[in-house]
Structures are given as structure tokens and as C-alpha cells.
């Protein structure tokens, strides 16, 4: 018997296939009830604290709207207005906030610090800690992606899913989305292809674990630096090129990288190489023009807004099970 109450949601590595299946089922149930305008007071009178070190549109609002729909209250905390900004430690913040409510969630994408901050919160919190994106993981996004793929493809096994990236930065190393995707998709027997130019690889330990998971679940993991190989006959493509990050003043290499990787753009020509029923996914925000053509992101294969909408239902499932659930 799996118990979800108080289980932290920091990395999908800590969640079994069975537990993720339950998250998917609860997400679908909540989505159906939302469509029917049915009451879902599973977290009545409960409070979650949402600490944000960075900006957000989807993550913040899916959590805030979601908790209201579950009968609870989400308290948004811009960390620049908290004593964190004066150096209060994660341990002390976790002890205090977790004595006030029922859930603690945080986005901290600072490289080499973000995940440590989350795990320290979890160590001292009396309530479940949810990762709203850190330097290593974005489990909320990957879960919504999985639900979207299941809805669009009616099955999850034996799909060629290509995760493609070419960041225009080496400074901030925004790997959290592909890391969480490659932790999750092989659990479902997908044929996952990772495609990126030389120099943009994920950490070795991420790849080693993903390969083991693919083998165990009758899927596969392919790594290529050939973008066309990734698009060829793909059922799902998830391309990303953070062109806009080039404006980061600390990233002197950014301009060169953007220039060097301009070909790593999702175009209609590339999409034509994929399966006829391919879906185009993107976590958003997208850097239209630099990383994807408007005709693709606004085209018939794009599911980006369904994917974004699913952030609401999957976030609600995570909160319902970890902040409520069986004790």
C-alpha cells in the first residue's frame, strides 16, 4: 500500500512507476471534475506556501488556481520580500513555514544551489515539499508532459519521443526540463532520443540511470548530435533552444553559441521528417522565431497549450496526494 501523504515531490527518481500511474489517474479525474465544474474540496482549509526565487507564469498560477479549486489557499512568496533575502537559512524557513500550513513548494534554479536548497527544506519541513523547478529537476513539467502524451497518443509504450536542445548559454545550464523528462519517459517503455550539439550533454549519472531504466522497461535511449535523426519518424518532438538567454549579461559565450546553433530550430521542414501524426511539445515560454517557427508552434501538430493546461491538473494531483491522501 503506497502512502502519499507527506511524500516530497522533488525528483521523479523518488517516485515509482506505480506511484506515477496514480498521479496520472488522479490528474485525469480532477481534469474531468474541473470540466464538469464539480466540487473537489480535497484540501479544504489547507495552506501551501509557494516560494519563488525566479519568475513564473505557468507554475505559479497552476499551483495558486489549483489549490483554490481544491478548497485550500496558496500563499505566494516572492523570496526577494522574505528574510531569505537577508540570509535567513533554508532550515529556519522550513521549520517556521511548515508549522503554519500543510505544504511547502519552491522554485530555485540557481546552479549548484537550487536543488540543495530544496532538499534542505525537505529535511526540516514537517509538511511535503514540492519542487517547482530547481537547477536539476522540473518534475511538475515532466508529469504534465506525460499526461499530454498519453492523451494525444492513447498509449505510452513504443513511442519515439525526441527531446532536442541547443541552449544559447553555458552559463545557467538550464537542464531541469530534459533531466526530468529523461527520468520519467523511459519508465514507460518509450524509445527516447536525446539530440543536442556537442558540448550540451546532460550529467553522466542522469544518462546512466536513464539507460538502466530504459533497459528494465523495454524501451531505449539514443543519444545523437544529428538533429535530423531525432525528427525522423518521431511520434513526439520536444525541441528547445533558449535563444532569449543570450541577453544574459554574465554569459559572454552566449552570442557565439546562439550563432553556432541557429540551425537547431524547429521548422516545418524538420517536422515533415517526423511521423504524420507527430505532436510538437514545448514547456513554454517559447522563444518564437529563434527556436521554433510560428507555423509550427501555431500549427496542427502543436499541443503546447494543452500541455500548459495540464500543468493545472497534474499540480492538483500532486498537492491532493501529498498534502491530503491517506495518513
Query: Mask 143-182, x = binds ligand CP (CB under 6 A)?
Result: ----------------------------------------
Nearer to ligand CP, 62 or 320 (CB): 62
Compare residues 59 and 115 and give the one whose CB is closer to ligand CP. 59
Query: Which of 131, 141, 310, 320 is the binder for ligand CP (CB under 6 A)?
Result: 141
Residue 284 touching ligand CP (CB under 6 A): yes
CA 72 vs CA 29, 37, 85, 310: distances in Å = 18, 17, 27, 20
What is the DSSP secondary structure assignment for residue 150, as one 8-state letter?
Answer: H
Are the CB atoms for 11 and 141 separated by under 8 Å? no
- Least CB distance to ligand CP at residue 26 (A): 20
Q: Minimum distance from CB of 118 to ligand CP (Å)?
A: 15
In angstroms, what is the minimal distance from the CB of 164 to ligand CP?
16
Q: Which of residues 53-72 bind ligand CP (CB under 6 A)?
A: 56-59
Q: Which long-range contacts (CB under 8 A, 24 or more apart) does 200-209 make?
A: 200/165, 200/166, 200/167, 202/175, 202/178, 203/175, 203/179, 206/179, 206/182, 207/182, 209/13, 209/183
Q: Count Cβ neighbours within 10 Å for each residue of 264-299 and write b for 16 or more, e otherwise.
A: bbbeeebbebbbeebbbbbbeebbeebbbbeebbee
Among the candidate windows 52-60, 63-71, 88-96, 260-268, which touches ligand CP by CB under 6 A?
Answer: 52-60
Nearer of residues 221 and 286 to ligand CP, judged by Cβ: 286
- Specify whether the CB–CB gap between 30 and 316 falls below 8 A: yes
CA dihedral 318, 56, 184, 224 (to 10 degrees): 180
Which is closer to ligand CP, CB of 58 or CB of 160?
58
Whichever of 70 and 283 has its CB closer to ligand CP, that residue is: 283
Interacting residue with ligand CP among 184, 283, 286, 312 (CB under 6 A): 283
The residues binding ligand CP (CB under 6 A) are 56-59, 133, 141, 283-284
Amino acid at each position: 500500500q503506497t502512502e502519499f501523504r507527506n511524500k516530497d515531490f522533488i525528483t521523479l527518481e523518488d517516485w515509482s512507476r506505480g506511484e506515477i500511474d496514480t498521479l496520472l489517474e488522479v490528474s485525469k479525474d480532477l481534469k474531468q471534475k474541473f470540466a464538469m465544474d464539480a466540487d473537489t474540496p480535497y484540501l479544504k482549509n489547507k495552506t501551501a506556501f509557494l516560494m519563488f526565487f525566479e519568475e513564473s507564469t505557468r507554475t505559479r498560477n497552476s499551483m495558486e488556481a489549483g489549490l483554490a479549486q481544491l478548497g485550500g489557499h496558496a500563499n505566494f512568496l516572492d523570496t526577494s520580500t522574505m528574510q531569505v533575502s537577508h540570509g535567513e537559512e533554508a532550515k529556519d524557513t522550513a521549520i517556521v513555514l511548515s508549522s503554519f500550513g500543510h505544504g511547502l513548494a519552491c522554485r530555485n534554479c540557481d546552479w549548484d544551489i537550487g536543488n540543495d536548497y530544496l532538499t534542505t527544506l525537505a529535511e526540516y519541513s514537517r509538511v511535503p515539499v514540492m519542487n517547482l523547478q530547481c537547477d536539476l529537476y522540473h518534475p511538475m513539467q515532466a508529469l504534465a508532459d506525460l499526461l499530454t502524451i498519453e492523451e494525444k497518443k492513447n498509449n505510452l509504450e513504443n513511442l519515439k519521443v525526441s527531446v532536442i536542445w541547443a541552449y544559447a548559454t553555458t552559463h545557467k545550464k538550464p537542464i531541469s526540463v530534459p533531466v526530468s523528462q529523461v527520468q520519467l519517459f523511459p519508465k514507460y517503455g518509450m524509445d527516447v532520443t536525446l539530440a543536442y550539439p556537442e558540448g550540451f550533454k546532460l550529467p553522466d549519472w542522469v544518462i546512466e540511470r536513464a539507460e538502466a531504466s530504459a533497459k528494465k522497461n523495454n524501451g531505449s535511449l539514443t543519444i545523437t548530435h544529428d538533429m535530423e535523426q531525432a525528427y525522423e519518424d518521431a511520434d513526439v518532438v520536444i525541441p528547445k533552444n533558449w535563444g532569449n538567454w543570450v541577453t544574459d549579461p554574465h554569459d559572454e559565450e552566449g552570442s557565439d553559441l546562439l550563432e553556432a546553433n541557429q540551425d537547431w530550430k524547429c521548422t516545418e521542414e524538420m517536422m515533415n521528417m517526423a511521423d504524420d501524426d507527430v505532436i510538437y511539445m514545448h514547456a513554454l515560454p517559447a522563444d518564437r522565431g529563434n527556436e521554433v517557427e510560428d507555423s509550427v508552434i501555431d500549427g496542427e501538430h502543436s499541443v503546447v497549450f494543452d500541455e500548459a493546461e495540464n500543468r493545472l491538473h497534474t499540480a492538483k494531483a500532486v498537492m491532493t496526494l501529498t498534502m491530503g491522501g491517506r495518513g
